[in-house]
Structure 1
Amino acid sequence: MTLQTDLTGHRHGHLTAVRFHRGSRQRQGTWECLCDCGETRHLSVAKFRRNKSCGCERPAHVSAAQRGVWDTETPTYPTAHQRVYSAKGQAAEHACPCGEQAAQWAYDGLDPDEFETRVSFKGVERIVKYSGDPKHYRALCISCHVKQDRYGKEVVS
């Protein structure tokens, strides 16, 4: 058993640790952190110490070249997922519609301006569709994400 560092009231950048949320045996707990802008994020101790805001300050922290990647009309697959993470936080901070803890962001397939790219995973190459708009992603557990992507089954919200 490891002891959790008490961060209650500690500040890092624009974030203040408010309260600890115990994790399961498989997942470590997270700290509910309040940003000066009013947003709340759930972060591990390491991420609390690494991040200085909820993401609201991100444009001030990145280079002009990196901002150009964010502002592009045709984002790469990794950039699209980074946009989702920046807008919505970690998927694990949300519940899947089935009631389990979410683990991944899943594209809903509804963006009329969707993009396609080839990705290779475990030696298998396939074409994946994705969106540059974070509103077309939802947090799902791995089981529901597989059902949606592989079998086209609707995951009820």
Structure 2
Amino acid sequence: MSSALVLAAVPIVLAAGLLALMKVPTNLQLTVTDSALVIEPQGLDRLWTRRDRIEVPLSAVSSIRIAPRTEAPPLPGRGNALHLSGIITAGPHGNTFWDVRRGDQLLIIQCLPGAEFDALVLQFANPFATLTRTRTVLAPFRQAA
């Protein structure tokens, strides 16, 4: 194979990779333990976010809601997150942790001062089911607080 052919194939392979990335949904697992919300990126999301686990103490969670992308915390200038506008934002960006593809309905977890992140902006296949399940588990904790 000639080097010219290989060089010509590189942009095609990169474009195909970006197209595939746009189609791959986020792969997150959110669980609630007795003391924390645990977010665990799975598969390629571990690579994109450069994290395998985030624990947010239940006492540090101020709110959990579904919001359109336009209501998500703004991205600061430069950050450590992988960010390709309109395609993927993943990883820590300022004081906010992101794992979002092209979705519009995002799960936003706001944290109290002193937590590792001010907010987590996450995309799930069914954010409303994730919100309902999480709020149901958090309800007894919130009543005791």
- Whether these two folds match at TM > 0.5 is no
TM superposition score normalised by structure 1: 0.23
Q: Which has the higher helix share?
A: 2
TM superposition score normalised by structure 2: 0.24
Tell me which of the two structures has the higher relative contact order, counting C-alpha pairs closer than 8 angstroms and 6 or more residues apart. 2
